[in-house]
Amino acid sequence: MNPSTGRQSGIDPRALWIVTFAFILTVTSFGKYEISRLTPLFLYPVAMTAFYGLPLKELGKRILLVLPFILLVGLFNPVFDRRAVLEAGGFSLSGGWVSFISIVLRSLLAVSSAILLVLVSPFDRLCLGLEKMRVPRVLVTQLQFLHRYLLLLKGEAQRMIRAHHLRCPVNRPKIPMEVASSMIGSLLLRAVDRATRIHWAMLVRGFDGEIRLQRPLSFSWARDGSFAAAWGLFFLLSRFVDLPGILSGWVLAR
Amino acid sequence: MHMADALLSPMVGGTMWAVTAGLTAYSARKLKESPDESRVPLMGVLGAFIFASQMINFSIPATGSSGHLGGGMILAVLLGPYAAFLVLASVLVVQALFFADGGLLALGCNIFNMAFFPCFLAYPFIYRKIAGQKPSQSKIFLAAVLAAVVGLQLGAFSVVVETRVSGISELPFGTFLLLMQPIHLAIGIVEGIVTAAVVLFVWKARPELFAPASGGVAALAGGVPMKKVLAGLALASVLTGGILSWFASSYPDGLEWSMAKTSGSEGLETPEDGLHGALSALQGKLAFLPDYGFRKPGGDEAPPEQPGEAVSWPAVDPGTTLSGLVGGGMTLLLAGLAGLVIKRGSSKRA
């Protein structure tokens, strides 16, 4: 499930979670007509992607997948908010378009930060980080199991679909509802059987409800603390100081 | 029905996070009290089943469109509310992280909208009441359809409320409601029929799975003391709503608005000295568009405000837009350049 071809981060996952949440809170705390002041925040995904050599194509593909819904809801803003914010030479820009652009920027930032998290750190380590941050263990273990069996069961579903299409090419790609119900029911029974077998196999190997990692986490203040503090400071600076304003003033004054 | 971070304010996102965290902790505790905590692998595989089942696209009669199963109600029927809630929560976490469905801030909302309503309201109060202790084919069918419809309607309503309270989207409450409820009524009916068909399929093939006493998966199921759940929810909402309102993102800028409420002025009082003072002075000197508007030719003195003149927002000010475009574009360029430099440095080291 981790399609990363880049380097994995040695940063403690707790620091990664904290930085990601701080980033998303900073992005969403700006007013809805804010555009330029969101731009310094692009440094975070750009720097992380560049530093860890992450596959841009993978990142872009995942962002593109979610954009349609956001565009759909965001496009209502220009419809309902028509107050002009800029009129020059017959061209008029409405507040709705400004807030629409802001929504697109926010979603680019928020979505990329969440994807970055799983690209730079193995999922098991992220889960262990969650457990250290007092997320209930049962949910953490559940997440780890889900992640492990996802591809396995997807493969099973794909084989069922292929078998259906080979027997019944007329219905490709859509399957009639009553047939789909039986297929989902069969898949469910297979999943339950598989789960029971796994459960027994794990019990005889001494499973007590916790998945342990060979390399336990250790939070280093020098490495992880400074990583979180540096990004935190940058987010605060971006939130409370108009960096693009300073920059544009400096350039246009010359 | 996934909500996105971009349409959410931190106050709403944070409040729903706290509510969902409370529900998760409560469900985890209830599950711990069940006879066999190490049943978690079973829950994990069923979570993966939800993803796999969504690959099976079926045609919806008389519409020409296709759909897939949501799966929340099936999990509630098989696992009971607590385990089903945790499984759905884990599914939504994986969707947010790996498939960018929703977002991390919106996760609280999404878990609440798509897991709380089916597991803690529709399942105990509709499905169990109708299906009863001795379920029949018709009872299961009716129960599943009604529970799926009600669960989805409540979830869709919750999406509208959360989006509206966040104030990022301009969609009026009524219009959004009219868009969301009917479409989710149709989705709910289809979801309910398929859920009923799947539950009936499993009920006929493996009836023991539905018998808690036999040690089947339903052994994890149990009743829901709603008073406790609702009291916890109310408390969490009030507490976090109060604390997180500081982050409120609203008209025109949530943080400034809440500052104005608490301190009486629209921004933090800027200290005259120190780093902030130095930065402000630098900004004042450099900014040819101070505060996003063109600098007045006469100097720094602003004209006295006309009493009674309403301040319109967004203000029609070409300076604002030009300054924003120039500054924003340059910052993006700088961020890109920084990325190139970092990439070059890190590939040299590698």
Give the Cα separation of B217 and B78 in Å (integer).
6
Indicate the range of A207-216, B95-104, B210-219 predicted with least confidence.
B210-219
User: Distances in Å between the alpha carbon of B19 and those of A1, A101, B151?
Assistant: 29, 31, 18
Residue A113 has a pLDDT of 92
Which pLDDT band holds residue B254 (cuts at 50, 70, 90)? very low
| Residue type for position A71 | L
Closest chain A residue to the Cα of B324, Cα to Cα: A36
B319, closest residue in chain A (CA to CA): A86
The conformational region for residue B80 under phi > 0 = left, psi -120 to 50 = alpha, else beta, is: left
Residue whose tokens read 């330029």: A36
pLDDT at residue A61 in the model: 82
How far apart (Å, rounded) are the C-alpha atoms in residues B126 and B144?
Answer: 8
A-chain residues near B255 (CB < 8 A): 29, 239
Residue B174 touches partner A, C-beta closer than 8 Å: no
- The predicted pLDDT at position B66 comes to 75
Handedness of CA B207, B212, B213, B216 (dihedral sign): positive
Strands A91-94 and A84-88: antiparallel
> Looking at residues A215-227, what average pLDDT do you find?
85
What mean pLDDT do residues A183-188 have? 91
Q: Answer whether residue B120 shows pLDDT above 90.
A: yes
Structural tokens at position A158? 């794909």
Stronger pLDDT, A54 or A41, i.e. the higher one: A41
| Domain ranges for chain B | 5-247, 317-350
| pLDDT tens by residue, A127-163 | 999 999 989 888 998 898 898 888 889 999 999 999 9
* Residue that the structure tokens 């599914």 belong to: B91
User: By CA distance, what is B57's nearest residue in A?
Assistant: A174
Lowest mean pLDDT among A97-106, A159-168, A176-185, B274-283: B274-283
Q: Using the beta-carbon criterion (under 8 Å), do B170 and A80 form an inter-chain contact?
A: yes
Select the highest-mean-pLDDT range: A19-23, B1-5, B220-224, B307-311: A19-23
Residues β-bridged to residue A87: A92
C-alpha pair distances (Å), A145 with each of A141, B24, B47 = 6, 17, 8
pLDDT digits (tens, 9 = 90+) for B157-200: 999 999 999 988 888 889 889 988 998 898 889 889 999 999 99
Backbone phi and psi for residue B4, each to the nearest 5 degrees, phi listed first:
-115, 150
DSSP letters along A75-93, please? THHHHH---EEEEETTEEE
| Mean pLDDT, rounded, of chain B | 72
- Asked if B17 and B108 count as a contact pair (C-beta separation under 8 A), the reply is yes
Most confident of A160-174, B20-34, B272-286: B20-34
Of B142-151, B167-176, B274-283, the range with the lowest mean pLDDT is: B274-283
The answer to whether residue B244 scores a pLDDT higher than 50 is no
Residue A238 clears pLDDT 90, i.e. is over it: yes
Stretch among A22-36, A162-176, B146-160, B332-346 having the lowest mean pLDDT: B332-346
Across A226-230, B84-88, B175-179, B329-333, least confident range: B329-333
pLDDT at B311 over 60: no
Tally C-beta pairs within 8 A across A and B: 409
Q: Which CATH architecture has domain B5-247?
A: Orthogonal Bundle (1.10)
pLDDT, residue B269, reads 43
Share of residues in chain B with pLDDT > 70 (%): 60
* DSSP string covering B68-97: ----HHHHHHHH-HHHHHHHHHHHHHHHHH
> Which has more pLDDT, B131 or B243?
B131
pLDDT at A138: 86
B 74-113 near A (Cβ less than 8 A): 74, 78, 86-87, 89-91, 93-94, 96-101, 103-105
**ipTM surpassing 0.95:** no
Determine the average pLDDT of the residues in A57-84. Answer: 81
Rama region for A74: left / alpha / beta (φ>0; ψ in -120 to 50; rest) = alpha
Which of B331, B337, B346 should be substituted to probe chain A, the one whose Cβ sees the most A Cβ atoms within 10 Å? B331
**The predicted structure's pLDDT at residue B282:** 45
